[in-house]
Protein backbone atom coordinates (compact mmCIF):
# COMPACT_ATOMS: atom_id res chain seq x y z
CA UNK A 1 0.00 0.00 0.00
CA UNK A 2 1.23 3.45 -0.90
CA UNK A 3 1.66 5.76 2.08
CA UNK A 4 1.06 9.36 1.01
CA UNK A 5 1.85 11.98 3.61
CA UNK A 6 0.98 15.65 3.12
CA UNK A 7 2.12 18.46 5.38
CA UNK A 8 0.04 21.61 4.83
CA UNK A 9 2.00 24.69 5.80
CA UNK A 10 0.84 28.29 5.47
CA UNK A 11 -1.47 28.98 2.51
CA UNK A 12 -2.22 32.63 1.85
CA UNK A 13 -3.73 33.97 -1.38
CA UNK A 14 -4.21 37.61 -2.14
CA UNK A 15 -7.00 37.70 -4.73
CA UNK A 16 -9.00 35.23 -6.83
CA UNK A 17 -10.98 36.25 -9.90
CA UNK A 18 -13.29 33.71 -11.52
CA UNK A 19 -15.36 34.33 -14.64
CA UNK A 20 -17.54 31.26 -14.25
CA UNK A 21 -18.03 28.04 -12.33
CA UNK A 22 -19.80 25.81 -14.82
CA UNK A 23 -22.51 23.20 -14.29
CA UNK A 24 -21.87 20.48 -11.70
CA UNK A 25 -18.43 21.84 -10.94
CA UNK A 26 -17.05 23.20 -7.71
CA UNK A 27 -14.87 25.92 -6.28
CA UNK A 28 -13.71 25.39 -2.73
CA UNK A 29 -11.54 27.17 -0.22
CA UNK A 30 -10.89 24.43 2.29
CA UNK A 31 -10.12 20.74 2.60
CA UNK A 32 -12.05 17.79 1.25
CA UNK A 33 -11.61 14.03 1.27
CA UNK A 34 -13.40 12.73 -1.81
CA UNK A 35 -14.46 14.50 -5.00
CA UNK A 36 -16.36 12.85 -7.84
CA UNK A 37 -17.48 15.06 -10.72
CA UNK A 38 -19.30 13.66 -13.77
CA UNK A 39 -20.48 15.67 -16.75
CA UNK A 40 -22.16 14.57 -19.96
CA UNK A 41 -22.92 16.99 -22.78
CA UNK A 42 -24.45 15.59 -25.93
CA UNK A 43 -24.54 17.80 -28.99
CA UNK A 44 -23.55 15.70 -32.00
CA UNK A 45 -23.75 17.12 -35.53
CA UNK A 46 -26.98 15.19 -36.00
CA UNK A 47 -28.61 17.31 -33.35
CA UNK A 48 -28.73 20.21 -35.79
CA UNK A 49 -31.96 19.57 -37.64
CA UNK A 50 -32.77 21.72 -40.66
CA UNK A 51 -35.98 20.67 -42.27
CA UNK A 52 -39.70 20.42 -41.64
CA UNK A 53 -40.56 21.11 -38.03
CA UNK A 54 -41.56 17.76 -36.53
CA UNK A 55 -42.61 17.02 -32.97
CA UNK A 56 -39.90 15.93 -30.56
CA UNK A 57 -39.80 12.20 -29.70
CA UNK A 58 -42.17 10.79 -27.14
CA UNK A 59 -41.01 8.74 -24.15
CA UNK A 60 -40.30 5.11 -24.95
CA UNK A 61 -39.06 5.79 -28.42
CA UNK A 62 -35.49 5.33 -27.27
CA UNK A 63 -34.13 7.72 -29.82
CA UNK A 64 -30.71 9.07 -29.22
CA UNK A 65 -31.20 12.22 -31.23
CA UNK A 66 -34.10 14.33 -32.41
CA UNK A 67 -36.87 13.44 -34.86
CA UNK A 68 -36.26 10.78 -37.45
CA UNK A 69 -36.58 13.13 -40.40
CA UNK A 70 -33.25 14.76 -39.69
CA UNK A 71 -31.30 15.62 -42.78
Binding site for other proteins (CB under 8 A): 1-43, 47-53, 55-67
d(CA 33, CA 43): 33
Give min distance, CB of 51 to other proteins, in A.
5
The answer to whether 25 and 35 have CB atoms below 8 angstroms apart is: no
Residues in the chain: 71
Give min distance, CB of 42 to other proteins, in A.
5
Give min distance, CB of 70 to other proteins, in A.
9
Amino acid sequence: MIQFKVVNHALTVGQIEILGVSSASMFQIGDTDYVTLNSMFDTPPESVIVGPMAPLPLPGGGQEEGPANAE
